[in-house]
C-alpha cells in the first residue's frame, strides 16, 4: 500500500488543482464579459458582475481565493464580537458552553505519559489505543461525534470524548482538569472580545492558528512532534470529527470517485496530473480501502493556541511559533477574521453544526493516520515526589531520586552516570542531588579527585578529609574483603594475579582472617615477612612485595596506618584525593574509599550515595573495574546509589584498546547505570557516548544541540529533556564553588 502522509491536497475536491468555485466562477465571468461586449440593455452591470466573478477566483495569501477572503470578512463584520465560554463538572462529566449555546456533556480523561523523548514505542501504543476508542465511537450509527485531544501549556494532555465511550488504555478520568484547561474556573464564565487577528479577555490576549498542511514534515517524524518542542507556551488541540460507519463508507467512496472524475476531466482538457494530485489520488484510494475494512472515517483539525498578557508579547510568541512550525514542516493558517470560530472549534466537545461534517475540520483521514499524527503528549516525568532538579522541557517540575526510582520500579538499579562537556552543567546537577539527599536524611560520600567539593562540605558544617594526610582508609573487611585485596594487589602490581598467586593469597587469607585483625593488610604482610627474601617462592614473594608497597612503601599511609582509620559514617563525607590526582595511585585510592564507604553508608535503615567524580580513573584500572562490577548487586541490595561523573567518553575508551574485554567491561558498567544525566557533547564525543551507552541516533542528535544546563535524562526505558534549574538555596551553594560559577 502506498504510504502518503497527511496533506491538504485532498481536503476538498479540486479540478486541476483548483477549488470548484475557482473553475466555475471564471468560466461564468468570462461568459458574462463576452455577453457584455456583444451589447445589451444591462451591459455595464453584466460586465461588472463578470469581472467580479473572474477576480473572485484569484488566489491570495494563505491559499484562499478573493471570494473566500471576502466571505470571511463579511462574516466577521456581520456577527457580534462578544463571546462567552464556560464549563462545569457534573457527576464526573463536563458540561461546556460557548456563546450560551445549548450545553453538551462529555467525558474527560488525562494521559499518564512518562518521558516525552519516547524510544520505547509508548507513543505508538497511545495512538493505537485512541484509534480503537474512535473506532468504537464510530460504530454508534450514522451520527457524527467529536473527540478532542488537547496538550495544554501547563503540560497536561487531556481527552474529551462522548459520554459513555470509556477511556482508552493509559488514560484516567480528569474532569476538573479539563475545565481548568478551558480557561474558566469551575462554574464561572469567561468573556472575550473578538478582533480580526486575536481575542482579548480579562486575563490577556489569545491567537489561534490552524495547521493547513503536513506534507513538508520530515518523513519518519511524528507530525506534531517538533512543534511541541518549541519554547513558546502553546496549546495544541487535535479535533477529530468521527463519521458513523455506514455514512463514512459512503463519503469515502464518493470522494474517491468524484476526485477521480474531476481528474479525468482535467486530463481530457490537456492538464497533466501533478505529483501532488497523484499523492491525493493515492491517499483517497487508500482511505476508501481502509474504511471498507473497518477503519473509521474522521476529519482532523489541528489548532495551535497562543496566549500572552499583552499584544507585544503575543506578537513575539506568535512569530516564534510560526517560525518553528515552518522549520518543522507544518504550514499554518493565521485565521484572520476567524479567531472566535476557530477557538470554538478547538473547545473540547464542541458540537458539529450545519449540514454534513463541520467546516472547522480540514483533513480527511482514517484512524490509521493516528499513528503518524500521534497524541500531542506532555512529559509527566518520573512521577516521583521530592524537590525538583529542574523542569522537563515538555512537562513540569522534574524530580528524580535514583533510590526512589529503584524502589518504585522505574529502574532496575539505583546507579547513575552523569556525563557532559566542561561547563555543560554536570557539577550543578550532582551537587543539587547531594543537597537533596542530605535534606532527606541520607548519607553521602564524595570521592573528590580534584578538591572541588570542599565548599559544599563546609556549607554543611564538615571539613573535607585528605587521604594520606588526615588519615588512612580501611577498605578491607575481614569477612568479605578477599576480592578487594586481590584488586589492590593487582593494581599495585600493574597486572592480574597469576594462578599461583591466587592460591597463595587464598591460603594466607584463611590463616589471617579468623583472627579478625584491625589492620588486615599489615597482618597479611607480617605473615609473609619471611617471603621477602630473594630465595622465597616466587608467588609468595610477589604478594609480599606488593603488600610492602601498600603498607610501608610508596603507597604507605593510604590503606594502612597508625591510629583509627578515617570515619566515613557521617551524613556527608568528602574525601579529597587531589594529592593523588596526577599519580598512578589515584585508581587504588578511589577504589579504597568506595569500598570503605560501601561498608558504612548503606545499611538496613539509611540509604546513601557514593559520588565518584572523574570515574574514568576507576574504569581504566582492570582490577578496580572488576571489583566494581562485582559490588553492583550488593549496592542495590543495600539501597546504595553510585553517581559516576565523567567528562569525556574518550577517557572511557582509553580504559582499553578497541575490542578488548577491558573496554567492553567499562562500557558494560556504564550501561548498567539505569539512570543517566547526559549533557551537551561535541559531535565526536557524542559519537563516543553513543557507542559507550548504546544510545539511539535520536539521542545522539540531541546531545550535540542541547543548550548549556539542559540534559537528556534516561531513567529505565524513559527519556526526558530537562533544564536543570537551581533554586535559591542551591544557588547559594553553587556560588561557593568557582567551577560552579562558570556553569560547570
Domain boundaries, the chain: 20-77, 79-247+292-373, 393-473+566-675+718-739, 476-565
Is the pTM higher than 0.85? The answer reads no
The reported pLDDT for the residue numbered 313 is 95
**SS3 for 519?**
coil
Helices 538-551 and 482-493, interaxial angle, to 10°? 90
Residue 356 has pLDDT above 50, yes or no: no
pLDDT at 11 over 50: no
Residue-level pLDDT at 295: 85
- Looking at every residue in the chain, the average pLDDT score rounds to 80
Q: Coil, helix or strand for 239?
A: strand
Q: With 50 as the cut, is the pLDDT of residue 388 above it?
A: yes
The x, y and z cell numbers of residue 455, run together, are 565548599
The pLDDT of residue 283 is above 80: no
Task: Say how many C-beta atoms besides its own lie within 10 A of residue 10's C-beta.
Answer: 24
**Residue 310 confidence (pLDDT):** 93
Q: Which region among 8-17, 526-535, 551-560, 619-628 has the lowest average model confidence (pLDDT)?
A: 8-17
pLDDT(355) > 70: no
Which of 576, 655, 642 is CA-nearest to residue 616?
Answer: 655
Digit-coded pLDDT (tens) for 415-461: 899 988 777 788 889 999 999 999 888 889 888 888 888 888 888 88
How many Cβ atoms from other residues are within 10 Å of residue 7's Cβ? Answer: 19
pLDDT tens for each residue of 678-689: 998 888 888 878
Which residues are CB-neighbours of 523 under 8 A, at least 6 positions away?
512, 515, 517
For 82-135, what is each residue's pLDDT tens digit? 988 888 888 778 888 877 776 678 888 988 777 767 666 777 888 888 888 888
Residue 10 scores a pLDDT above 60? no
Contact 90, 105 (CB under 8 A): yes
Range with the largest mean pLDDT of 13-22, 37-46, 281-290, 318-327: 318-327
For residues 284-291, give the mean pLDDT.
80
Single out the residue of 369, 404, 375 nearest to residue 387, CA to CA. Answer: 404
Structure confidence at residue 400 (pLDDT): 92
Least confident window among 162-171, 415-424, 569-578, 735-744: 735-744
What's the pLDDT tens digit per position in 60-88? 876 788 988 898 899 899 888 998 888 88
Q: What percent of the chain has pLDDT over 70?
A: 85
Looking at per-residue pLDDT, the higher value among 281 and 642 belongs to 642
| C-alpha–C-alpha distance, residues 411 and 403, integer Å | 9
* Predicted confidence (pLDDT) at residue 180 exceeds the cutoff of 90: no
pLDDT at site 738? 45
Mean pLDDT of 513-531: 83
DSSP lists the bridge partners of residue 379 as 395
Question: With pLDDT > 90 as the criterion, what percentage of the chain qualifies?
Answer: 10
Cα–Cα dist 230/228, whole Å? 5
In eight-state DSSP terms, residue 103 is: P
- How many whole angstroms separate alpha carbon 576 and alpha carbon 467? 6
Question: Is the pLDDT assigned to residue 27 strictly greater than 80?
Answer: yes
Average pLDDT over residues 711-720: 89
Average of pLDDT values for 340-365? Answer: 71
In which element (H, E) is residue 404 found?
Answer: helix 402-407
Q: Which helix (H) or strand (E) holds 724?
A: strand 718-724
Tell me if 29 sits within 8 A of 50, measured CB to CB. Answer: yes
Return the DSSP state at 413: S
Measured distance CA(312)–CA(298) in Å, rounded? 37
Are 244 and 142 contacting, i.e. CB atoms less than 8 angstroms apart? yes
| Dist. CA 59–CA 215, nearest whole Å | 20
Mean pLDDT value of segment 459-487:
81
Q: CATH topology for 393-473+566-675+718-739?
A: Rossmann fold (3.40.50)
In the structure grid, which three cell numbers stand for residue 685, read together? 564525543
pLDDT of residue 739: 42
Closest listed residue to residue 167, CA positions, set 122, 132, 124, 115: 132
User: What values do phi and psi take at 592, rounded to 5?
Assistant: -65, -40
Model confidence at 701, pLDDT cuts 50, 70, 90, reads: confident
Contacts of 207 (CB under 8 A, 6+ apart): 197, 198, 199, 305, 306, 314, 318, 335, 339
Mean pLDDT of 373-385: 82
d(CA 198, CA 322): 15
pLDDT of residue 741: 43
Q: How confident is the model at residue 142 (pLDDT cuts 50, 70, 90)?
A: low
> CB-based burial of residue 246 (10 Å sphere; 0-12 exposed, 13-18 middle, 19+ buried)?
exposed
Residue that the C-alpha cell 502506498 belongs to: 2
> pLDDT (tens digit, 9 = 90+) per residue, 610-650?
888 887 777 777 777 777 777 777 777 777 888 988 876 66
Give the C-alpha separation, 80 to 65, whole Å. Answer: 25
184-225 residue pLDDT tens: 555 567 889 999 999 998 889 999 999 888 877 776 667 787
Question: Which pairing describes strands 572-576 and 443-448: parallel, antiparallel, or unpaired?
Answer: parallel
- Looking at the DSSP assignment, which residues form a beta bridge with residue 723? 391, 710
pLDDT in tens, 558-591: 888 888 888 887 889 888 888 887 777 888 888 8
Amino acid at each position: 500500500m502506498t504510504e502518503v502522509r497527511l496533506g491538504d491536497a485532498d481536503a476538498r475536491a479540486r479540478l486541476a488543482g483548483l477549488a470548484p468555485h475557482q473553475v466555475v466562477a471564471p468560466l461564468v465571468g468570462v461568459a458574462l464579459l463576452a455577453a457584455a461586449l456583444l451589447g445589451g440593455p444591462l451591459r455595464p452591470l453584466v460586465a461588472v458582475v463578470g469581472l467580479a466573478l473572474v477576480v473572485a477566483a484569484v488566489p491570495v495569501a494563505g491559499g484562499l481565493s478573493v471570494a473566500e477572503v471576502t466571505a470571511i470578512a463579511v462574516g466577521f463584520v456581520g456577527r457580534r464580537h462578544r463571546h462567552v465560554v464556560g464549563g462545569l463538572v457534573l457527576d464526573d462529566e463536563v458540561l461546556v458552553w460557548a456563546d450560551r449555546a445549548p450545553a453538551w456533556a462529555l467525558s474527560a480523561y488525562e494521559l499518564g505519559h512518562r518521558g516525552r523523548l519516547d524510544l520505547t514505542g509508548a507513543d505508538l501504543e497511545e495512538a493505537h489505543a485512541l484509534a480503537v476508542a474512535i473506532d468504537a465511537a464510530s460504530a454508534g450509527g450514522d451520527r457524527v461525534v467529536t473527540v478532542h485531544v488537547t496538550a495544554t501549556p501547563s503540560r497536561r494532555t487531556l481527552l474529551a470524548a462522548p459520554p459513555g465511550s470509556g477511556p482508552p488504555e493509559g488514560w484516567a478520568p480528569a474532569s476538573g482538569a479539563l475545565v481548568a484547561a478551558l480557561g474558566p474556573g469551575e462554574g464561572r464564565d469567561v468573556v472575550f472580545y473578538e478582533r480580526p487577528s486575536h481575542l482579548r479577555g480579562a486575563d490577556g490576549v489569545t491567537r489561534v492558528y490552524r495547521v493547513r498542511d503536513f506534507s513538508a514534515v520530515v518523513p519518519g517524524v511524528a507530525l506534531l512532534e517538533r512543534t511541541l518542542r518549541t519554547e513558546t507556551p502553546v496549546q495544541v488541540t487535535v479535533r477529530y470529527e468521527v463519521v458513523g460507519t455506514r455514512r463514512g463508507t459512503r463519503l469515502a467512496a464518493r470522494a474517491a470517485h468524484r476526485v477521480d472524475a474531476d481528474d479525468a476531466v482535467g486530463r481530457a482538457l490537456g492538464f497533466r496530473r501533478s505529483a501532488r494530485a497523484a499523492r491525493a489520488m493515492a491517499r483517497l484510494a487508500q482511505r476508501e480501502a481502509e474504511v471498507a475494512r473497518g477503519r473509521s472515517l474522521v476529519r482532523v483539525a489541528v489548532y495551535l493556541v497562543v496566549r500572552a498578557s499583552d499584544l507585544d508579547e503575543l506578537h513575539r510568541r506568535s512569530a516564534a511559533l510560526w517560525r518553528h512550525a515552518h522549520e518543522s514542516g507544518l504550514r499554518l493558517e493565521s485565521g484572520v477574521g476567524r479567531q472566535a470560530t476557530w477557538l470554538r472549534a478547538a473547545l473540547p466537545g464542541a458540537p458539529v453544526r450545519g449540514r454534513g461534517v463541520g467546516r472547522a475540520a480540514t483533513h480527511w483521514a482514517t484512524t490509521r493516520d493516528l499513528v503518524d499524527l500521534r497524541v500531542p503528549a506532555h512529559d509527566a516525568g518520573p512521577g516521583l515526589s521530592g524537590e525538583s532538579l529542574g523542569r522537563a522541557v515538555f512537562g513540569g517540575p522534574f524530580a528524580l531520586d535514583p533510590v526512589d526510582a529503584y524502589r518504585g520500579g522505574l529502574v532496575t538499579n539505583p546507579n547513575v552516570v552523569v556525563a557532559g562537556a566542561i561547563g555543560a552543567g554536570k557539577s550543578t546537577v550532582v551537587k543539587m542531588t547531594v543537597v537533596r539527599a542530605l535534606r532527606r536524611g541520607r548519607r553521602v560520600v564524595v570521592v573528590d579527585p580534584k578538591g572541588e567539593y570542599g565548599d559544599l562540605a563546609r556549607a554543611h558544617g564538615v571539613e573535607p578529609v585528605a587521604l594520606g594526610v588526615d588519615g588512612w582508609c580501611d577498605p578491607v573487611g575481614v569477612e568479605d574483603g578477599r576480592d578487594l585485596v586481590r584488586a589492590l594487589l593487582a593494581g599495585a602490581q600493574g597486572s592480574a594475579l597469576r594462578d599461583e598467586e591466587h592460591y597463595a593469597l587464598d591460603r594466607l587469607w584463611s590463616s589471617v582472617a579468623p583472627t579478625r585483625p584491625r589492620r588486615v593488610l599489615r597482618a597479611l604482610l607480617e605473615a609473609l615477612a619471611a617471603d621477602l627474601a630473594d630465595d622465597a617462592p616466587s608467588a609468595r614473594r610477589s604478594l609480599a612485595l606488593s603488600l610492602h608497597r601498600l603498607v610501608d612503601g610508596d603507597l604507605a599511609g593510604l590503606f594502612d596506618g597508625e591510629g583509627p582509620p578515617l570515619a566515613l559514617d557521617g551524613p556527608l563525607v568528602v574525601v579529597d584525593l587531589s594529592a593523588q590526582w596526577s599519580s598512578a595511585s589515584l585508581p587504588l585510592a578511589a577504589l579504597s574509599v568506595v569500598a570503605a564507604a560501601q561498608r558504612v553508608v548503606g545499611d538496613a535503615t539509611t540509604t546513601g550515595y557514593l559520588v565518584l567524580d572523574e570515574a574514568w580513573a576507576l574504569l581504566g584500572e582492570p582490577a578496580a573495574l572488576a571489583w566494581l562490577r562485582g559490588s553492583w548487586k550488593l549496592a542495590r541490595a543495600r539501597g546504595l546509589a553510585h553517581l559516576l561523573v565523567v567528562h569525556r567518553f574518550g577517557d572511557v575508551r582509553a580504559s582499553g584498546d578497541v575490542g578488548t574485554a577491558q573496554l567492553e567491561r567499562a562500557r558494560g558498567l556504564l550501561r548498567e547505570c539505569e539512570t543517566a544525566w547526559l549533557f551537551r557533547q561535541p559531535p565526536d564525543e557524542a559519537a563516543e557516548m553513543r557507542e559507550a551507552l548504546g544510545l539511539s541516533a535520536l539521542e545522539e542528535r540531541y546531545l550535540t544541540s542541547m543548550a548549556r544546563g539542559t540534559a537528556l535524562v534516561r531513567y529505565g526505558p524513559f527519556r526526558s529533556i530537562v533544564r536543570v534549574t537551581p533554586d535559591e538555596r542551591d544557588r547559594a551553594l553553587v556560588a561557593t564553588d568557582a567551577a560552579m560559577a562558570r556553569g560547570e
